[in-house]
Amino acid sequence: MTIIDKILCRPCIFCAIVEGSTPTTLIYKDDEIAAFNDINPAAETHILIVPVDHVKSVKTLTTDHIPLLEKMHQKGIDLLKERGHDPEQSRLGFHVPPFNTVDHLHLHVVGGAMKSNFRKLKYETGRMWYMDLTQLQANLDKKRRLQEGARL
Ligand code: 5GP
Ligand code: ZN
C-alpha cells in the first residue's frame, strides 16, 4: 500500500485480487501464493505471482522469506513452461522500490515477445530497478550477515 492509499483508506489492490473481491481471474492459488495476469502486459505472457499474506516489497523481506520466494519462482517457471516459453529466455523479477508501483510484493513472470524496447529495459534483470531471485537471495544473505555482525 502507498502512503496515499493509507491516507485515503484505500485497500491494497493485490490483497483484494487474492481475496477474490475483484473481477480478476486467478490462474493459481494455494495457502501461500496466488497468480494472475498483469492488467497491462509487457509481453505475450505477463503473470504476477504474489504472496497471499500482504508483504510490502523486496525491502521488507528477510532470509525467512526465501522458501516463499523460491516457491513463487518455481510457480513462475511452471506457468511459463505450460505456456510454451523457455524460462531461460524469460524475465522473472521484482521491481525494487522506488521503481515499483504496487506495494504488495509481486514476482513478474514475463515470457515471449516483448511489447516495446522500453519494456525490455524495464524488465531487464541485473539492473538496479529489477532483481531476479538469485540477486534477491544474495541481498538478503548480505543483510542478515550485516545484522549478525552489528549484534556482535
Ligand atoms: P510494479 O510496477 O509494481 O513492478 O508492477 C505492478 C504491476 O501491477 C504492473 O505491471 C501493473 O500493470 C499491474 N497492475 C496494477 N494494477 C493492477 C490490477 O488492478 N490488476 C492487475 N491484474 N494488474 C495490475
Ligand atoms: Zn496487499
Distances (CA, A) of 59 to 21, 56, 139: 27, 8, 10
State if residue 122 touches ligand 1 by the CB under 6 angstroms criterion: no
Smallest-distance ligand from the CA of 50: 2
Active-site annotation, residues:
106
* Amino acid 93: pLDDT: 98
Nearest protein Cα to ligand 1, atom 12: 40
Kindly report the pTM of this predicted structure: 0.93
Cell numbers placing 47: 503473470
Q: Report whether pLDDT(44) > 60.
A: yes
pLDDT band at 152 (very low <50, low <70, confident <90, very high): confident
- Tens of pLDDT, residue by residue over 26-37, are 999 999 999 999
Instruction: Check: CB of residue 13 under 8 Å from CB of residue 102.
Output: yes
Smallest-distance ligand from the CA of 56: 2
| Spacing, Cα 101 to ligand 2 middle (Å) | 12
- Tens of pLDDT, residue by residue over 100-124, are 999 999 999 999 999 999 999 999 9
Q: Which residues of 64-102 are buried (b: 16+ CB within 10 A; e: fewer)?
A: ebeebbeebbebbeebbeeeebebeebbbbbbbeeebeb
